[in-house]
Amino acid sequence: MTEKPTMIAFQDVHKYYGDYHALRGITATIRAGEFFSLLGPSGCGKTTLLRTIAGFEGISSGAVMIDGRNMAGVPANQRPTNMVFQSYAIFPHLTVAENVGFGLRKARLPKAELATRVGEALEMVGLKGYGDRAAHALSGGQRQRVALARALILKPKVLLLDEPLSALDKKMREQMQVELIRLQRQVGITFILVTHDQEEALVMSDRIAVMFEGEIAQLADPETLYRRPNSRKVANFIGTMNFLPAEILSEAGGKIEIEAQGFGKLTLEAEQAPGAASGDGAAVGFRPETLTILFEGQTASDRESMAVIEEVVYYGDMTYYDVRLDGTEKPIRISMRNVFGRPVLDIGARTRVAWSPGALVLFQ
């Protein structure tokens, strides 16, 4: 597959608000037609970075390129971007159609053409036939759709979405996530989503930039971020990661020899250490679903350790076990899918645990 051309390029972008260093050297590219997310905790600079694309925020140094063109000095209304705000910014006194057509009012299109364009945009977001409704009478999910239609009608190259789903309840949010993915595939333009919700980012994105304190900590596709986070901080922000202390014994020829508490001596591949790691104070990390509790008669396909169960949390479809491997000080979490006919184990039970060296990640 050929790589898609670059749509956005950040070149060492810095942004100060007075003395406050909000963006600290952002260098990254976003490809044409990509569903890209900026993910990070509140205050890390996601909105600021998004606004530098839109042109609502100037930068202190560096460059923001869109479609090969440096955006320095290019005002927001002359950029090929459009933004959907967290608050939707719907005009309540206008109809749905008037809201959607609002951005086109300067284009002075013939009435019939305007109506066609509005109709197309409404159909795209699943609001066909809603044009004459009063905007103030819409539900949260419908307002969100109107905001999307209003942005898409201008046919931007890049759609910018700042936490567009955060005001919706969980069910509606999950439904809108699926619809946004479908919409992005349909229109084929670049979507850039800001979210603090790691699950939302994993579900929706082709690639994700994880941000902390004005910097990109890791930029990768969802699977790489989840399987091979490059720092403990990224690992902890995305899902649950167990850690056990490890010592690096030797490194040569793309292999890393370690001794990990609870697991013993192991050889890892270099790609299992995506961040720099050396010497003491290292740790191996692993996700709760990469370990398996072995029940009567089952055998490990790879390695096996003994453990004691210290806590059991039953979730219906899943059970989370906190278990302490022999030779370790603190418990780790194992998640098991509950299947028919398999018992849920009790606290204090001794059990065998299956694991694989390939599922481990080495961190400093």
Ligand X SMILES: Nc1ncnc2c1ncn2[C@@H]1O[C@H](COP(=O)(O)OP(=O)(O)O)[C@@H](O)[C@H]1O
**Pattern 6-25, binding to ligand X, x per CB under 6 A?**
-----------x--x-x---
**Cα distances (Å, whole numbers) of residue 20 to 72, 297, 311:** 21, 60, 44
Q: In this chain, which stretch among 37-45, 104-112, 274-282, 356-364 interacts with ligand X, using CB under 6 A?
A: 37-45
Give me the helices (H) in the chain, please: 46-54, 96-101, 111-124, 140-152, 170-187, 198-204, 222-227, 232-237
In the beta sheet, which residues pair with residue 134?
A: 95
Phi first, then psi: what are they for 272, rounded to 5°? -85, 0
CB of 92 to Mg ion, least distance (A): 24
CB of 161 to ligand X, least distance (A): 12
CB of 11 to ligand X, least distance (A): 19
Chosen residue from 22, 37, 47, 97 binding Mg ion by CB under 5 A: 47
R_g (Cα) of the chain, nearest Å? 25
Applying the rule CB under 6 A, the residues between 39 and 78 that interact with ligand X are 40, 42-48
Q: Which of 361, 151, 364, 137 is nearest to 270 (CA)?
A: 361
**Pattern 87-106, binding to Mg ion, x per CB under 5 A?**
--------------------
195 interacts with Mg ion by CB under 5 A: no
Q: In this chain, which stretch among 40-48, 52-60, 214-222, 310-318 interacts with Mg ion, using CB under 5 A?
A: 40-48
Instruction: Write the DSSP assignment of 40-81 as a string of letters.
Output: -STTSSHHHHHHHHHTSS--SEEEEEETTEE-TT--GGGSSE
Specify the residue, 37 or 47, whose C-beta has the smaller distance to Mg ion.
47
CB of 47 to Mg ion, least distance (A): 3
Specify the residue, 46 or 117, whose C-beta has the smaller distance to ligand X.
46
Could you tell me how far CA 55 lies from the centroid of its own chain?
24
Total of chain residues touching ligand X, rule CB under 6 A:
11
**31 vs 19: CA distance, rounded Å:** 32
> Which residues form the interface with ligand X (CB under 6 A)?
17, 20, 22, 40, 42-48
> Which residues form the interface with Mg ion (CB under 5 A)?
47
